[in-house]
Amino acid sequence: MKRSLWSILFIIFSYNLSIAVPVIYQAENGVLNGTVISTTLSGYQGTGYVTDWNNDGDSCEVTVNVATAGMYDITLGYAATSGQKTNDLYVNDNFQANVTFPATSGWSSVNAGIVPLNAGNNTLKIVKNWGYFYLDWFGVEAAVLPVLSVAKTLVNSNATQSTKCLMNFLVDSYGNSIVSGQCGDADATWINTATTYSPAIQGFDMMDYSPSRVENGATDPMEVERAIAWYQSGGIVQFQWHWNAPNKLSNTAGCEWWRGFYSTCSTFDVKYAMDNPTSQDYADIIRDIDAIAVQLKRLRDAGVPILWRPLHESQGGWFWWGAQGYAACMQLYNLVYDRLTNYHGLNNLIWVWTTQDNAESINWYPGNSYVDIVGADIYLPGLNYGPSTAMFYNIVNLVEGKKIVALTETGTIPDMDLLVAQHAYWAYFLTWNGYENNTSQNSLAHVQAVYAHSFVTTKDELINVFNCSTATSTKTNTPTVTNTNTKTQTQTPTQTQTQTQTQTQTQIPTNTFTKTLTLTYTKTPVLTATSTTTITATNSTPVSTFTITATFTPVTGAVPAVIIYPNPYSTGAMTIAFDLKEEVSAVRFILYTQAFRAIKRVELGAQQVGRKVIIIDSKNFENLSTGTYLYVIESTNLSGKKKRSTIGTFLIIKKN
């Protein structure tokens, strides 16, 4: 069925060729950088072909001329006698797509995708990625854009109402706006501080809930708690799962246990496991899926719909779930889908599949009946803000325009004016941790321009997204682009707004929660937010009442037994002051990477009630790189119950 779909796409493409012959530009007449002209392999067009794609940066560039600006199909004449290869297509120095050149015994052609061209001269360039192929010619012809026709129906017919509503919102927005997204708590806070807007989507990870990580000492990453808090604040939640291999971890230098999701750091064979359902390997896969189901149920029970992205980037082969080919990976995906949907009854999931955009991708696609959203993970060179238009339309064609296509991971954020002008209507973007505030990847001015752009949906614009009985916040934009396409806010130099919201929920079996939330925002060049939350829980056990206070800028937090006060990481030591409201047997400081891997613990013994201070010598951080780190304070009371602060964050800057 999958191959027949690709055949249909090929037939359609062949039919287009029959009625519109592309204009051919010979590669050997282009500008060569590191490559050379050869005539050894017979059958080429023109006077030769381009070869010797041996070093990074090697390229061949031709200048093409079109009468009118618009979208054009690019085809490439090539030979790949040393096996399938992948190389990169650039148009006017903007990345467009990774082009896969299937193995050949002689000369052939491949469709590289739909790209934008300006009226007049344009440059087309192939740049070495894998290299080791022969390039004969570039073909250019006017393209007919595929229709974006997406139904609001989810693949799980039993989806919860809030999940259906979220899907409705995404479908209504598709082509009319792009929904902003950011991975990581501290990173989302940075976006808010830098732009005064918050991303609409926040990305989280099930990584440290993987049993083989827990067995090796991974502590509770608190991703579920943070995701619930994000949802309750009005945001959309996305989860991927860096699934540590169920067993057979290498756990050697460079392949430590916490790198166990890489195919090179485990000997776990997914094909063997799927072919042998009575094996221990298969049983461990089931164990792992069930462990993640426990966390997903916590989110379900809190009413959180999830953009759920398992087995991402499988086709690349660098993760164990894709290392044994597409057949085994598709078997695993079907098992994950069936186990979570039909066995565990998780009806709050919108299923997201990350794909590539080449001829092989159809084999790696689970099918329209098992996927709601299809996306791409794209990391361009730093400060390259191209919208990857060709890749967008290649994926649209892959799913026949029937699925939402999203930018499920990105390093550089696309330029919104270019994105709209080129009709590269990615449904949402999700910037990976640490890229948004890395000035070698995204300039501050660019990030601010993106979040202020009228085509971008930010968190403050999400109105009734999870309750579609009321009209949702859907933008309608014409494709015309102007340089004045920005959001407008009117405010005095200092504006203070106080909002009080009271909400009552009843949860099975008989628990009643009353939550009062007070938020005070002061909009100055740096946003400061102070929130106070009081939660009273009543059930068959004695009443438990506690207060959480969190003050941001810098990010700090608190739990019932621990309150952290703002303290800078300064030369010589990091000082953390906190209050203990009960006697404890131990207090510890736990330091995490941005991927929430615990890398440092500092222990204190038993402590009495009152103000306490931890002073952590900077020698503890000598082996760490410059960057942002996360930390919590954890206490253990006399009855053995652990309590943790919310996440704190601080920056280490190492001097040369």
Which residues are catalytic, by number? 313, 409
Other beta carbons less than 10 A from residue 288's beta carbon: 22
Determine if residue 57 is left, alpha or beta; phi over 0 gives left, psi from -120 to 50 gives alpha, anything else beta. Answer: left
CA distance 308 to 595: 18
DSSP state of 42: T
Q: Are 81 and 104 in contact (CB under 8 A)?
A: yes
Query: CB atoms < 10 A from the CB of 156, how many?
Result: 21
240 within 8 A of 310, measured Cβ to Cβ? yes
Exposure on the CB side of residue 25, measured as CA atoms within 13 A: 21
Q: What is the C-alpha separation between 115 and 126, in angstroms, rounded?
A: 14
- String of DSSP letters for 483-546: TT-B------SSEEEEEEEEEEEEETTTEEEEEEEEEEEEESSS-EEEEEEEEEEESSSPPEEE
Report how far residue 89's alpha carbon sits from residue 125's, in angstroms, rounded to the nearest whole number.
Answer: 6
User: What SS3 class is residue 15?
Assistant: helix
Q: By the 8 A CB rule, do 410 and 428 touch?
A: no
Which letter, b or e, does each residue of 106-117 get, where b requires 16 or more Cβ atoms within 10 Å of its Cβ? ebebbbbbbbbb
Distance, CA of 424 to CA of 481 (rounded, Å) = 13
Is residue 299 within 8 A of residue 348, CB to CB? The reply is: yes
> Taking every pair of C-alpha atoms in the chain, what is the biggest distance, in angstroms?
87
**Token pair recorded at residue 299:** 């989110």
* Residue whose tokens read 């404890």: 584
AA letter at 244:
N
Answer yes or no: are the C-beta atoms of 457 and 476 closer than 8 Å.
Answer: no
**Opening angle at CA 649, ends 643 and 655, nearest 5:** 135
Residues pairing with 90 in the sheet? 95, 125
Nearest to 153 by CA among 345, 305, 462, 368: 368
Q: How many CB atoms lie within 10 A of CB 528?
A: 13
Task: Give the dihedral sign, CA 112/331/346/409.
Answer: negative
